Amino acid sequence: MSAIEMLDVLKTYSGRRVVDAISVSVERSERVVLLGPSGCGKTTVLRLMAGLEVPDSGAINIDDNEVAVGGRNLIAPERRHIGMVFQDLALWPHMTVFQHLEFALRYDKLNQFPDKPSRILEVLEMVRMADRAHAKPGELSGGQQQRVALARALVTNPTIVLMDEPLSSLDHELNLHLRGEILRLHAALGFTLVYVTHSREEAADIGTRVIAMQNGKVHAHLPARSRTV
């Protein structure tokens, strides 16, 4: 059973086909990487899956439920059971680490955790950030900020996690280390992962399957070595 299905999905901006009638299927607990240069449409695919964009035509299914069809979203983003890590991380400078996760839980429509503080600390332990729960983003290193963004995506216990080039701003050593952390969390939690990158090395390391995109289309399916943890 597929976790995500995109069927002939078209998305245009100012008449340009950014996503050009593509069909993509992602199985449950799979790690699929969308690989390609800037402007190839990979981030737009992620945003369509999340419900942050609406397809011009085609359909999107999540867990066998139709969530979008041409011209409209049928299920709102907060009801798709998806966590997302943005490329710019989208951390608010005035909020602590704990408050970022608390905010995510406040707007979660699917899981109502009876003890939210315990849930937050549990996830911060998973990403090894419990000791920085009361720090603000400006007090954290780049790698720690990445962990906060990841924890915020995981705190609602999503079945699907989308990551948009989350490690692109890090040096190679830290990038490599956090790839391992992502794989460790995936192995522990079993979520479906769709990961966007322009790095072939990163794609081969993280993905169980790599989809290369070019000019809004699926260009090729590439082998992945899929490091294990």
State how far the Cα of 165 lies from the Cα of 215, in Å rounded to an integer: 18
Strands (E), the chain: 2-13, 16-27, 31-35, 57-62, 65-69, 72-73, 82-85, 160-164, 192-197, 209-214, 217-222
**Mean pLDDT across 105-116:** 80
- The number of helix segments (H) and strand segments (E) in the chain equals 6, 11
Give the pLDDT confidence of 52-85 residue by residue, as tens digits: 999 999 999 999 999 999 999 999 998 999 999 9
Q: How, if at all, do strands 160-164 and 192-197 pair?
A: parallel
Give the pLDDT confidence of 125-173 residue by residue, as tens digits: 999 999 999 999 999 999 999 999 999 999 999 999 999 999 988 899 9
State how far the Cα of 109 lies from the Cα of 154, in Å rounded to an integer: 14
Give the pLDDT confidence of 43-59 residue by residue, as tens digits: 999 999 999 999 999 99
Cβ neighbours of residue 129 closer than 8 Å, sequence gap 6 or more: 97, 144, 147, 148, 151
What residue has token string 């729960």?
Answer: 133
Question: pLDDT at position 221, please?
Answer: 84
Dihedral sign computed on CA atoms, order 65, 67, 69, 74: positive
Q: How, if at all, do strands 2-13 and 16-27 pair?
A: antiparallel
